[in-house]
Structures are given as structure tokens and as C-alpha cells.
Copies of this chain bind each other. A is one copy, B any other.
Amino acid sequence: MDADTSQLLKQLIAKERTAHLGTLRGGAPMVSMTLYMPEKDLSAFYVHVSSLAWHTQDMKQDGRVALSISETDDRRPDPFTLMRVTIRGEATQMISGPKDAWLARFPEQAINFTLADFSFWQITPRDARFVAGFGRIHNISATELRQPRMPMD
């Protein structure tokens, strides 16, 4: 992954707010939309989820997950050119979590911190697959993903 590609990927992850979280449910695929927050160096991704949600029940059974993030559809003629990345990794429930940073990113989510059944989960990337455009597919290791070659801010 060259520096330009790395920067494109970081911009995508920084700009978007929602991801589609893949989990195993009864051994079959389940995918559901979640809000996410990345660590600045992309060493981890956080989700704040209810224990009542299916994906949380799933992660308790099996921590293997995939997080799919795509560029917002701007109604361009060909949506197949939208950038997207899949991060595969391991999810673990956190005792506390990045509450202040989460609320800075999602102020309207404050109400969920008053509910006992919400908790943070940390997703540690195992690898990533970045589609930067037609035929521009990059398989990325967790180490490569973490390289702070291009700071986000």
C-alpha cells in the first residue's frame, strides 16, 4: 500500500460514522449497522452496543467479526466506484471504554450511557481489504494498517 492509498483509507475511516458489523449467529452470517470510532492509528475500532442487540449476543459467543465501511453514496452514476474497506478482527468487551471521545463524536448518544445494558467493545484488526476503486484492491495486514505514515490530523 503506497502513501496515497494509505491516506485515502485513513480519510475514508475518519469521515464515515457507520459500519456494518458481521458476526456469526448460529454459525451463519449476520450483519447489522453500528456506529464506530477508530483509534487514530487504526490499531483498534470501538463500538458501543446494547447487550440486547443481536450482534452483542453474537460477539459474546464468538469474538470473530468483520467491519465493513463504505463511502456514503453520493448518487454518482456508478456506485460500484464507492470506496470501501473491510476490517476483520477480534472483538472483546471492555470494562470501561473511550466514553469521552465517543460522546465528542456522537453527542446525541449520551442517553445510552444512562442505560445499564450498553458497553464498549474493542475490535482489534487482524487484516483489512481496501477497495479504492475498480480493480484497485489492497490486502492489508494489521501492521500495515497501523503504520502512521499519514497522520489523520
Verify A30–B84 contact, CB threshold 8 A: no
Q: Find A72's partner among B22, B72, B77, B86 (CB 8 Å cutoff).
A: B72
Verify B18–A70 contact, CB threshold 8 A: yes
Number of interface residues of A (CB under 8 A): 38
Would you mind naming 10 contact pairs between A and B with Cβ atoms under 8 Å apart?
Answer: A20-B22, A20-B31, A23-B29, A29-B88, A33-B82, A72-B72, A72-B73, A78-B109, A79-B106, A80-B109
Residue A32, interface by CB 8 Å = yes
Question: Is the contact region of chain A dominated by helix, strand, or loop, or is it mixed?
Answer: strand
Known: A18-B82, A77-B107, A106-B78. A67 touches B31 (CB 8 A): yes
Q: Find A70's partner among B33, B82, B129 (CB 8 Å cutoff).
A: B33
